[in-house]
Homo-oligomer: A and B are copies of this chain.
């Protein structure tokens, strides 16, 4: 399998569609190999080959992943969970040294994505409209007095994933209660508008954004987009292009954006495949193919906005049942 284009997907969890898409695009040119620390991660059983590995935080985890890469001639590696993105970014060179390309932005960029207040400061300093944020509650109270911001607001951890521990609060009393109980919280403006998501691919070779798929989020469930509809707006495309170039993203990212009174506000970035990426793929925005092009040493052509508007996406539950190690797809 010397020249095979094998791809490793770490912490695959329930992201079966991502594994399916890579298998489809690779065809007979390589294997999709998946890992997870749980044998109850259904996406494992979609892959050509899978490994149950230690937990991401366990000692020796990186060595296990590196040796899987070496032994399986892995050409590219990506992860589907946030904590692991920092690990991949920090150890990018160790992967490159054994011929594996981590599909990830640089370490400082990844870290900024997971520090909501740092990202806020960066956005403000670079002239991008974003969601008003405070780590200093006294400053927030002053801005309330001055009429710069109003209740309700969200109180959330500065470093947090998904919608874990987010509270919508309406009074100073509640803020005092939360700040008294937890450390490292921030206060964020409630955006009374429409929420959008953008799936963006920044070519690993040229560093240019080559694919942007934008959708309006119609319904959320457990912090994930459950229903969405594709939209196209050149103003939004230009904003995203400028943003990803200024910050220097690489590979696949997912951006959360609000639109309030006709203006776009950048909210958050996940520097990985977002949970709503299948909407983009099924609408023709084929990022697995772009990743394979990059592994082959080829730059991708710009296909920004090359999809139809008004395509609806609806999620539902599929299941896998597993009988005594024999796997049955349903």
Q: Which residues of A contact B (CB under 8 A)?
A: 14-17, 40-43, 218-219, 221-222, 224, 226-227, 275, 278-279, 282-283, 308, 310-324, 328, 330
Give every chain B residue within 8 A of A226 (Cβ-Cβ). 14
A314 in contact with B319 (CB, 8 Å):
yes
Give every chain B residue within 8 A of A314 (Cβ-Cβ). 14, 40-42, 319-322
A310's nearest neighbour on chain B, judged by CB, is: B324
A313 to B42, CA, bound (A): 9
B40 in contact with A218 (CB, 8 Å):
yes
A21's nearest neighbour on chain B, judged by CB, is: B330
Give every chain B residue within 8 A of A17 (Cβ-Cβ). 316-319
A-B complex: 7 closest residue pairs judged by Cβ atoms? A42-B314, A318-B318, A222-B222, A14-B316, A282-B321, A16-B316, A312-B322
When all copies of this chain in the complex are counted, the total is 2
A313 to B222, CA, bound (A): 20
Q: Which of these, B310, B316, B328, contacts A320 with CB under 8 Å? A: B316
Given A278-B330, A330-B278, residue A227 in contact with residue B40 (CB < 8 A): yes
Q: Which of these, B40, B218, B219, B308, contacts A323 with CB under 8 Å? A: B308
Give every chain B residue within 8 A of A316 (Cβ-Cβ). 14-17, 42-43, 317-320
A42 in contact with B315 (CB, 8 Å):
yes
Give every chain B residue within 8 A of A218 (Cβ-Cβ). 40
A320 in contact with B311 (CB, 8 Å):
no
Give every chain B residue within 8 A of A317 (Cβ-Cβ). 14, 16-17, 224, 275, 278, 315-318
In angstroms, how far is the closest chain B Cβ from the Cβ of A236? 21
Extra 16 A-B pairs, beta carbons < 8 Å, given A15-B316, A17-B317, A42-B316: A14-B316, A16-B318, A17-B319, A40-B227, A41-B314, A278-B319, A278-B330, A282-B321, A282-B330, A283-B321, A308-B323, A311-B321, A312-B322, A314-B320, A314-B321, A315-B318
Give every chain B residue within 8 A of A222 (Cβ-Cβ). 221-222
Give every chain B residue within 8 A of A313 (Cβ-Cβ). 319-321
In angstroms, how far is the closest chain B Cβ from the Cβ of A36? 11
A312 to B38, CA, bound (A): 13
In angstroms, how far is the closest chain B Cβ from the Cβ of A113? 23
Give every chain B residue within 8 A of A311 (Cβ-Cβ). 321-323
Give every chain B residue within 8 A of A278 (Cβ-Cβ). 317, 319, 330
* Cross-chain pairs A/B with CB under 8 angstroms, 13 sampled: A14-B315, A14-B317, A16-B317, A16-B318, A17-B317, A42-B314, A42-B315, A221-B222, A278-B317, A312-B321, A313-B319, A313-B320, A313-B321
